[in-house]
Structure 1
Amino acid sequence: MAAEIAEQPAVLAGLLHRRARFAEVAGVIARKPPRFALLAARGSSDHAALYAKYLIEVLLGLPAGLVSPSTVTLYGARPDLRDCLLVSVSQSGGSPDLLEFTQTARKQGALTVAVTNTPSSPLHKAAELAIDIGAGTEQAVAATKTYSATLLALYLLVDAIRGGDGSAAAGIGELAQEAYEIPVQRAVDRYRFVDRIITTGRGYSYATALESALKLAETSYLAARAYSGADLLHGPVAAIDEDTAVLAVTGAGRGGAAMHDVLAEVAQRGADVLALGSSCSEVPAAVRVPVPEIAEELAPVLEVIPVQRIALGLALARGGDPDSPRGLRKVTKTR
């Protein structure tokens, strides 16, 4: 896990050199413009898909939603997907439910795109169009480099669809290296004895909050729960007290600004807040982990890197082995 976290700056920089493929796929999509988009994924890829949902709705102005594969695989639904763009996201490309949903969606009229790290996978072959994120073999059970590479790939795809050239991501490899070098030991030392943690963020960074909770749960066995900053105030905030740790993603931009009122409420309840992001200095927090600033829609690519290092550090500090989390396998197959 440590080695693969460290590979991310090079992996992200490498993706930028393959922008021609994203333009090629975007060109095919432009010949059959969709009215709406759906995204199919599981696990960490589901969080990447949620990030893509924000990109599609904000940057392309198209309605987008996350699919429930079981509607097709278990219940036999056959929705009318004419004029739909389906993006199936999976680092392995091997989950049977995503494969079946993609095959069915194609038969039902959708234009299908697979975004995977495994070009030899069934999913990659089942979709009409496919993008290889090119992160290289990932051996750790906890997804790290494949997650950030998937985020960047989805951004480059959406940006290409709107006619962009990916220039907003220029230099992201160097910024990722800066994010990797941010000290996180203070956070590890402070939260190593925590049993319960809430993660929260808004906008694009809600995906970071979700991925943070997953990483902390699967590597450190923490009872971690993620909420949108807005949803947190709609009830769950009542469970926050002095014994609650809160990891809050607070970047520059509208999503980060919307977290200020949320964290003011959380602070009043005595929670121990770890603020992470490019504007973490602007909110009340016990520990702050600054992240290099970039365009808001790309911030999740950088934010997740120190989160991964915190999860790794906490797992080791708590006596665990993040490379062999109990009960987990690298590829989980569901239907």
Structure 2
Amino acid sequence: MTHAPTTAAAKTFMRAEIEEIPAAVARLLAQRDAIGAAGEALRARDPGLVATIARGSSDHASAFFKYAVELSAGVPVASLGPSIMSIYGRSLKLSNAAAVSVSQSGKSPDIVAMAEAAKASGALSIAVTNTLDSPLAAASDHAIGLAAGEEKSVAATKTFVNSVVAGLALLAAWQRDSALEAALASLPESLTRAIACDWSALGEGLGDHRSLYVLGRGPTLAIAGEAALKFKETCGLHAEAYSSAEVLHGPARIVENGFPILGLAVPDAAETSLAESVDRLAAQGAIAFATTDRAKSATRLPSVVTGHPLCDALGLIVSFYAFVEGHSRHLGYNPDTPPHLMKVTRTV
């Protein structure tokens, strides 16, 4: 396809909202009382299971929360399908559980119905939403406001980041994790640096390719899912997210002849294995990009070091957002108004 040139047109809502992420994170972290109360409730409940309820970008934030909780607290986390209640009318046994619902609008009927059912089944119910006067907040024992402000672009950016930060702050309060709390305190400055990371090499490598894989492992798998969604939403590209382990169990078959691969890694226990998968796919013919020096066959994309691997993973999506907004415009699209999509999707 022919690429439209990038112009000095008026700043998109998406770009403005990306630039607001550090300030939005600072506003969220200032809500110490609400976060602390929810963390204390979790500590008192001592749940044997945490259930999450979400869709879309909010579900990717919930997937990040799953890895963070399992790694830090050792408590299993399961994603509940909202249709279990809204379509099938089936309640679940959650008396020893906590249920965390994530929704930007707090108005999706199926999310609200599942949160109400979880609370009725005995779960400690916590809402994470950008709208504190929403039905979801009203249906929950505790509500944490995202404090992201209005988000006009259809493609969620600052609300996704704040959803992840809310989960991390909740986890830190629950577990009294001083190292995570310290990393969160300096996160606004770290994310400012993340916005400035130059990923233009990725755009050059994508060229006219219409499909690609985004790889992650552990917390970065959730980031890979969010990145793949944004490629679809803003650029009309067929992007699929895979674990760097699972991609070798079938999907690797089609990787050849310059097929693009983006590997999202941070300095944690999964970094080496992810790099090895990227190098294996590059040997099959992939054109590879990665956020680690350990992938010897990949072009290195810059990333920020925050002092905590969970926050490092969050920094990757902010750098990606800054890239994909520009790449969407380069392809001739308006990332604020992707076709066929609306800002609030009311599923039942």
TM-score under structure 1 length normalisation:
0.96
Q: Say if 2:294 is the partner of 1:282.
A: yes
State the SS of the aligned residue for 1:39.
strand
**Which of 58, 68, 84 is matched with 1:45 structurally?**
58
Describe how 1:21-100 pairs up with structure 2 within 5 A. 21-100=34-113
**What is the distance in 2 between the residues matched to 1:121 and 1:156?**
21
Instruction: Report the Cα distance in structure 2 between the residues aligned to 1:192 and 1:137, rounded to whole angstroms.
Output: 34
**Partners of 2:249 and 2:112 in 1: CA distance:** 36
**How big is each residue's C-alpha offset from its partner over 1:196-245, in whole Å with a ceiling of 9 and x where there is no partner?**
11101001110110001000000000011110111111111111112311
**1:5–1:308: 8 Å Cα contact kept in structure 2?**
yes
Deviations 1:92-148 (A, max 9, x none): 111111000001111111110000111121111111111001111111000001111
Q: Deviations over 1:226-276 (max 9, x none)?
A: 101111111111111123111110211112222022112111111011213
Q: Once structures 1 and 2 are overlaid, which stretch shifts more, 196-205 or 74-83? A: 74-83
Within the candidate set 217, 228, 231, 2:246 is matched to: 231
1:211-290 map, 5 Å: 211-276=226-291, 280-290=292-302
For residues 1-335 of structure 1, what are the structure 2 equivalents within 5 Å?
A: 1-165=14-178, 166-276=181-291, 280-294=292-306, 295-335=308-348
| Partner-residue secondary structure (3-state), 2:262 | strand
CA distance in 1, matches of 2:344, 2:289: 31
Report the Cα offset of residue 300 of structure 1: 2.5
Residue 200 of structure 1 aligns to a residue whose secondary structure is strand
Q: Which moved more, 1:44-53 or 1:284-293?
A: 284-293
Please, which moves more after superposition, 28-37 or 322-331?
28-37
Q: Give the drift of 1:291.
A: 0.9
> Is contact 1:267–1:284 with CA below 8 Å preserved after alignment?
no
Measured in 1, the distance between the counterparts of 2:223 and 2:93 equals 32
Q: Per-residue deviation at 1:32? A: 2.1
Change (3 A) 1:190 1:264: closer
- When the two structures are aligned, how many residues end up with a matched partner? 332
CA contact (8 A) 2:214 2:239 kept: yes
CA distance in 2, matches of 1:37, 1:281: 35
More divergent stretch after superposition (179-188 vs 121-130): 179-188
Distance 2:58 2:259 in 1: 28
**Cα deviation code 1:74-109 (max 9, x no counterpart):** 112111110110000111111111000001111111
Q: Does the 8 Å contact 2:279/2:298 carry over to 1? A: no
Q: CA deviation at 1:281?
A: 2.2
Structure 1: which 5+ residue stretches go unaligned?
Answer: none
Secondary structure of the residue that 2:90 maps to in structure 1? coil
SS at match of 1:13: helix
* Secondary structure, aligned partner of 2:45: coil
Counterpart contact for 2:303–2:316, Cα < 8 Å: yes
The question of whether the paired residues in 2 share the 8 Å contact of 1:192 and 1:317 is answered with no
Gaps of 5+ in 2: 1-13
Pair 192,308 (structure 1): closer, same or farther in 2 beyond 3 Å: farther
Rounded to whole Å, the distance in 1 between the matches of 2:297 and 2:126 is 41
Q: What letter is aligned with 1:326?
A: P
- Alpha-carbon separation, structure 1, partners of 2:29 and 2:87: 39
TM-score by length of structure 2 reads: 0.92
RMSD over aligned CA atoms reads: 1.3
CA shift for structure 1 position 286: 4.8
Matched residues, percent identical? 33
* 8 Å CA contact retained: 2:199, 2:302: no
